[in-house]
Each structure stands twice: as structure tokens, then as C-alpha cells.
Structure 1
Amino acid sequence: MGCIMKQGGGLYSRVRVGAILLAAGQGSRMGGVPKALIELQGVPLINRQLIALSGAGVDEVVVVTGYHHDLVEPLVEQFPVRIARNLNPETGQASSVRLGLEALGANFDAVIMALCDQPLINAVDIAQLIAAFKKRKSGEIILPMVDGNRGNPIVIGRIALDQMLESGTNMVCRKFMDQHPEMVELFHSDNEHFTMDVDSLEDLEKFEEKTGWHLQLPNLSDKAKQRLANTEPAYMALQRLVCK
């Protein structure tokens, strides 16, 4: 353990933290629009996540893209992150998680598994989870809990990460936690940032009703808009909803 009187190490040992930001989804419940591109106060949700991770002192970030990679990747090029493109995103989130872990490498004590559809997550929230991981009494995974509901992001320690990679290609974080409850330490909080997400058209309305903030569609090219409209008819419903 570090010592506050020795080399400025603080009360807890330095932990090298990486992050995987999942942005490979099709956005089928969101009218075919990638949730990463939806904007809050003019800032795409994926950029808000990257700003939060950077502000919390995360050492390295891998962004996993897949569906809509041509729309998502240009948004993150301004950030010092690595991009891992899932060439088979239809195989599900487990393949994106594995790809992200492999791209990030093993030189980390803990990895934050972050999602693009949580508009209110900020640097303070991420820092709280990292602090909880450092202070944990047992286990290898920090899972935020708000009013009895699971939240995100989660923090996964090295031992759990290695076991996840050894568990097969279909292993996802929730399944692993359910199978290994002894490795999970709950971080109880009243912070609804951890449980507030926008996964569907209905969630956009609920978010605005609860927060008063309006989420809007990204400023896409006409070609991109037409592609989304042709492949996912619900895109037009989303456009009417957020532009009302």
C-alpha cells in the first residue's frame, strides 16, 4: 500500500486503469440511429463519455465500433484513443467486449466497461467508481447500484478480466457477474447517472421529462440520413420525436 508520507503515493497504491467504450451497436431500438451520435447540448454522447473518462484520469481508452463505424469513428478521431472495429457486430456485445479487451492488452490493473447511451455520466462519477475499486474489501468487480437497480459503467479487476477471456467467446459482463457473485462488490449510490440511459425511442421522452434536457439527432449528411431512413423505417419516427 502506498503511503501519504512516501513519494506522494497517497493512501492507496497507484492503479493503472484502462477503459473500453462500446459503440458497435446497430441502434435498432433507436430507429437505426447509433446512440453514440445522439447529442446533448450539442455534444455527441460518445464524446461526452470520452471527456468523462479523460477527466477521471483513465490511462487509455479503446473505442469499439461496428455498425455505423463510418459515422462513429470520425467523432473520436480528435481524442487520443484507439479504435477497434468489430467486423462482425451481429454476433453480439460479447464479441465487442472481447475485441476491446484484446486491443487494450494486459497492462492494466482494472478496466472500466463503459456504454455510449448514458448521457449524464461525468468525470466525478467515473472517479468515484475508480476510488471504490481501490478501496474494495473483496471481489474484483465494482457494480454501481441505485435503488436496487444495476448501473453502469462497471470496473473490472485484472483477475476477473483474465477469467472472462478464458470463459469463451459468449461471455458478457452481466453473465460473468451472475456466475461469480463472490467477485462482485456493490457500490451503493443515490446517483441516478449510473442507471439513466437512452436505449429506445421511449427513453428519449422519459429523459426529457425527468431532466428537462432535450436530446437531438446528430447533424448527418443527406446521404447518411437517407441510408438510415431506408434501412430502418423507425428512423423517421425518431426524427419526428426529437425535432418536435
Structure 2
Amino acid sequence: MGCILKGGGGLYSRLVMGSVLLAAGSASRMGNRPKCLLELGGVPLIRRQLIALSGAGVDELVVVLGHHADLIEPVVRDFPVTVVHNPDPDAGQVSSLRVGLQAFTGKIDAVLVALADQPLINAQDINDVIGAYKKRPEGSEVVQPSVEGQRGNPVVFSQNVREQILAGDADVGCRQWQKAHPESVHQWETANTRYRIDVDTPEDIDALAERTGHRLTWPAALTPAKA
């Protein structure tokens, strides 16, 4: 499926979009349980992200695993994705991003980097940020959602940025590239708060339920036994 989006003057040229979905962290603040397996409406968050990305027509999808890979991989195995493993996930998110960026097998024009712990992102949200990338100001190579001045996710950047990241030092990822090239970054202003919502702690789960009415729950296998 391709990303052919309508604009004011007709159709934009077809954009071949690759996506890296990051799910390699240890989730230490969540009691070392993989937060991407939290469920909303009975569906694990990582599957919700894969459904959203597939629904948005992403052409090639890479999932990066590390910690808890034995628990997460069976949940994503039935999707048409490339699963890769970060051999050193404790090296941080930049290392996982670089593993993912290296894993694309086909030609791509741009990369969308998504996080597996954003519970409310849907296919329309993905389409909207891709659309913002296609309409970005001339000279911009990165598009990041900005909600009331706060940066959100997912982020989209060009194949050129991907190549520069991979050619750079091991500690260079998207955020470091943006810091070094602020003139090439377009902060896309949007009122969509879903781009800012993720869950890192049990308190985040409670706050999400209080704010939105959406209650995340652990699958039975990851629910601590009561004393």
C-alpha cells in the first residue's frame, strides 16, 4: 500500500514510506514489564500501533526488539513486518533506532519512527503526520508534531537524514540530528494531543484513565499475583 494523499491541487507524488517501531526498552519504571503489551480494549499496544501503521499504508515496517523480545515477538509475528533485535538494548533508544534504520530491504523515500507505548495513535493520526511531511516547507527534512509547544511522536524524516544518521557516530539518532540541523526541522503545530500521550509509569496509566476514560490493563500473564 502506498501513501497517495490528496491536496489542494490534486494528487501528490507517491511517497514510499518505511517505518521503524521501537519496542526494545526494559520498561524499568513499569516494573520491568513490557509496556507495549499493556492492553486497551483487549488489544496490546504494539498491535494497535501495527494496525495503525498498516492502515495508513506504510510500505515497509521494521519492529525493533531487545528486552522482553521473547514475550513481544509472538504478539507481532502474524503481521507482515521485519523483526530485528538490538543486541545491546541497554545502549538506549538511539541504538535501537539505528538497528531499525539499517534493516530496510527496499527503496524508501522517508522514514516514520513510531513508539510502541503510545496508546491512542490511530491510522488517521499517522496519515496526518505523513501529510504534514508531504506539505512541509521547502528545505525541511524532518517533520515532528508539536502540541502547545511540546514535541510529540511519531516523527517523519527523509531518506537523506536516514543516510546521514547511519553515516554518523553511534550516538547520533534523530534527536541529535535535529539539534545539529534546526533549520531543516519543521515543527508541525497540531492540537491533536494523542501525539503527546505515552505511558512510562503506573501513574501514567492512572492519569490516562482519569483524563480520557481509557484504562490500560496488563494481560493475565503479566499481572502480578496478589498476596
Q: Do both proteins adopt the same fold according to a TM-score greater than 0.5, normalized to the shorter chain?
A: yes
Q: How many pairs does the alignment contain?
A: 218
Match of 2:161 in 1: 160
Q: How does 1:187-202 map to 2 (within 5 A)?
A: 187-202=188-203
Match of 1:30 in 2: 30
For 1:183 and 1:160, locate their aligned partners in 2 and report how far apart those are by CA, in whole Å.
10
For 2:167 and 2:134, locate their aligned partners in 1 and report how far apart those are by CA, in whole Å.
24
Match of 1:116 in 2: 116
1:200 positional shift: 1.3
Q: How does 1:43-122 map to 2 (within 5 A)?
A: 43-105=43-105, 107-122=107-122
1:11 positional shift: 2.5
Secondary structure class of the residue paired with 2:102:
helix
1:137 positional shift: 1.7
For 1:204 and 1:179, locate their aligned partners in 2 and report how far apart those are by CA, in whole Å.
34
For 1:52 and 1:32, locate their aligned partners in 2 and report how far apart those are by CA, in whole Å.
26
Q: How does 1:1-16 map to 2 (within 5 A)?
A: 10-16=10-16
Deviations 1:147-169 (A, max 9, x none): 11000000011111111111211
Deviations 1:133-158 (A, max 9, x none): 11112311110000110000000111
For 1:14 and 1:177, locate their aligned partners in 2 and report how far apart those are by CA, in whole Å.
25
For 2:162 and 2:86, locate their aligned partners in 1 and report how far apart those are by CA, in whole Å.
19
Runs of 4+ in 1 over 2 A off after TM superposition: none
For 2:28 and 2:106, locate their aligned partners in 1 and report how far apart those are by CA, in whole Å.
33
Secondary structure class of the residue paired with 1:63:
strand
* Identity %, equivalent residues: 50
Higher relative helix content: 1
1:219 positional shift: 2.8
Secondary structure class of the residue paired with 2:146:
strand
Q: How does 1:119-134 map to 2 (within 5 A)?
A: 119-134=119-134
For 1:55 and 1:106, locate their aligned partners in 2 and report how far apart those are by CA, in whole Å.
20
Secondary structure class of the residue paired with 1:13:
coil
Secondary structure class of the residue paired with 1:113:
strand
Q: Which has the larger radius of gyration?
A: 1
Q: How does 1:226-241 map to 2 (within 5 A)?
A: none
Deviations 1:188-239 (A, max 9, x none): 100001001111121111101101111000232xxxx5xxxxxxxxx85xx8
Match of 1:230 in 2: none
Secondary structure class of the residue paired with 1:187:
strand
For 1:27 and 1:54, locate their aligned partners in 2 and report how far apart those are by CA, in whole Å.
25
1:33 positional shift: 0.8
Match of 1:170 in 2: 171
Alpha-carbon RMSD: 1.7
Unaligned runs of 5+ in 2: none
1:105 positional shift: 4.4
Native 8 Å contact 1:160 1:183 kept in 2: no
For 2:106 and 2:95, locate their aligned partners in 1 and report how far apart those are by CA, in whole Å.
18
